Structure 1
Amino acid sequence: VIVQGTDTLEEMAFLLDCLLDISRPVVVTGAMRNPAELSADGPANIMAAVTCAATREIGLAGVVVVFNDDIHAARFVTKSHTGNVGAFQSPNCGPIGRVVEGKAYVFAVPVAGPKVPIPQPPNIPHIAVIKASFGDDGFLLKLLENSDCQGLVIEAFGAGHLPETYLDSLDRLARKIPIILSSRAGAGHIFRQTYGYKGAEIDLIRRGLIPSGILDGLKAKILLTLLVMSGADPRSSQYWQ
């Protein structure tokens, strides 16, 4: 059982899920209320996490996050609220299980996510994340062209669409670094073959961008960082499902 603050908990859980290829339960939890507040949730979350760690079936699900008695797969969970005790949700699939009356029930075991060898020694690359926004002229992309950035994740509109103002910079950057195309929507896959206008997913893939599959921008950054560190090929589709 790993206990940590909730601000980056979803990223830590996914990082562990990418690095650990074991069948023993690994459970991450924390608290949304500090101990001085009424109805602090920390003790109950820790008890639920320990219950899960003692449940053999949890080991088949990869790293899990346990909050508010819900059991979430690390690949799908996200912090969706700043203060609610039910802040951790899995918008793509829902919880994979639940703790009830001191027992952990697993409803579904997700398909194993990508595994990356632990790089030795660690040398953390510069990976940028840019979220597309209405009226954006691509100024930040132009700055990246002259930086030592070693990879880029773009959180695009909808199913993978970007303004035409991005395209010239993306063409130049894609010749130098891996660029992962994710969505700012918070749930759903990046499309690959539905829309073909300039700046849509077919056009962007043709320009060299790599669809993130179901991973959001935060998790795509974690995975891309590990791939660059380990020397693996970030363009391999086995990592982006």
Structure 2
Amino acid sequence: MKRGMFEKIFFAGLVSVSFSLGIGITGNAAANQADSEGEIELIPHESPTDPKDPAAPSEPQEPIDPNNPATDNKGPLSLDVVPKGFYFGAQKMYHSAHKYPAVGAVEHKQYLQVTDNRGEGSYGWTLKVRQDGYLRNKQSRYALKGATLFLPNGEARNRNNHEGATEIDPDLTTHNVEVTNEEKIIFSAPDDASKKAGKSVSTNSWQSQGVSLMIPKGIAREGEYSNKIYWILTDGGPTN
């Protein structure tokens, strides 16, 4: 009688162990599952980009600088900011050739801003500058033939620069330019997929007093003179 009771107890123990192992196996089985969809349509970024701080293009232009106004050009590749103008004030005439520095506040910067929001696979852009003709007298239309505007080599920065937005970006190229009737490169990003330079916001800035005007000898006449400067942004790096 005692032996039979022991056998039942032992058998119950086996059942208990077997049931415990069964729970462990069931826990590793696949649970119920379902699926949902994710969907997006990417379209070109055609909105204008506001002026940024030329020394830190990840930050907005603060305070607003009327001497570097927004162009309101649309993207995805856009020229957002150019200098309002280059001013030399009232200056004395010389018969000999003479160089005049631009009038501007000390430490004031002029700058160019380019935004590239094109999709991956599109790299490189080139910004050129030219004049519409020599400085011309507003009344007599007499032209200061040979008078040349000089723009200094600027500092290039990019919002996505891995060294930081305030640091000069070595993958962007700037040039000092003698502005003529021919288009000349002043700012560019290479057509190089490995560098991906010039994407997002890039700036090229210089001190406004670094701009100068050279008037050759023997052409100066009294009067007020002006002309137009044109900036041309094109798709593709400077080698294209």
Tell me if TM exceeds 0.5.
no
Instruction: Compute the TM-score of the two structures, normalised by the length of structure 2.
Output: 0.22
Larger radius of gyration: 2
Instruction: Compute the TM-score of the two structures, normalised by the length of structure 1.
Output: 0.22
Which is richer in helix?
1
Higher RCO, 1 vs 2 (CA within 8 Å, ≥6 residues apart): 2
Which is richer in strand?
2
